[in-house]
Amino acid sequence: MLEDVNTYTIRIGSRGSQLALWQANHIAGELRGRGHNVEIEVIRTVGDRMQDPGFVAPETWEDGKPLDGKGIFIKEIEDALLAGRIDVAVHSLKDLPTTLHERFALAAIPQRADARDAFVCERYWGLHMLPLGASIATTSPRRRAMLLALRPDLRFVEMRGNIDTRLRKWSEGQADALVLASAGLDRLGRTEHVHARFEVEELTPAPGQGALGLETRSLEHPLDSEDPQRDPLIYAAVRALNDPDAAFATETERVVLNALGGGCQLPLGAYCHRMDEMWHLHAMVVARDGEEAIHEVKQARVGVSAAEFGGEMAEALIAAGAREMLEKAV
């Protein structure tokens, strides 16, 4: 099998940001370490072009469907998968919708990085130390709502762009502090101004945060070509990078998200992790103004299914009024 797959060059598709390329090169290195030939193709998405001055995003895709927060970062990459230009897409898992099209498969979730959110500030070393009415840069509805639940006096600044761009704008004084995903800062080695990381009880991470999703063509819908072995062999090579604990934890989180709407604009967090023979699942839903919050914690023994564990959490959140709270937040 190994000799067969090594006759192919595995083509990875990635966005062109510094973090996306780090992630793609990391996966390429893992595959090369297993003896595979790998190339990386950079693909520019609508989400990337939206950060260019003067670019006006279309209201719909070519098929008439409206643009959505997740699709703007993945559609062109998935198009390249379908066309056979690439074999694997490396995504930040939280960018992927909870339900993939039948033509695609989530082949692997590698070992997960730190899923927590990081407090980036030099002068003030913690959220509680910020002065009254301080400004924080974040565009995430989840982070905004959860921060307001902790500090109702905070003001928020719109700050878009990649990690380096946001750090530069913050250093220029456009905000008192930043809140960013720890995983991206760790991967790029930009932790010099990180003096605190939020506990999951304070800011519950977005489902899938800190994890990578390796997307391939579905084995039920392989590339129409004269080489029927290619897709199954490449899928097996990518599948070898799967971390079972990371896969279970993130699948559980995504079950919760899917049950409550599945969108990335929801002020909802879910984080699952393993301690010995027990799974621990935190979930939080917060009103946009931070005035109301639902926080549930559940435990289950190793061996439970992600669908069952995540489903139980979703039911508990719904029973506590989470659906109504999220409907108000839209």
Cα first-last separation, the chain: 49
Amino acid letter for position 111: Q
Query: For the residues of 3-26, what is the DSSP string, one character each?
Result: HHHTTSEEEEEE-SSHHHHHHHHH
* Contact present, 193 and 121 (Cβ < 8 Å): yes
Q: Residue 3 and residue 6: Cα distance in Å, rounded? A: 5
Query: For the residues of 171-217, what is the DSSP string, one character each?
Result: HTTS-SEEEEEHHHHHHHT--TTEEEE--TTTSPPPTTTT-EEEEEE
One of 48, 87, 95, 231 is an active-site residue; which one?
95
3-state secondary structure (DSSP) of residue 287: coil
**124 exposed, middle or buried (CB, 10 Å; 0-12, 13-18, 19+)?**
middle
95 catalytic? Reply is: yes
Query: For the residues of 225-261, what is the DSSP string, one character each?
Result: SS-TTHHHHHHHHHHTT--HHHHHHHHHHHHHHHHTT
Active site (catalytic) residues: 95
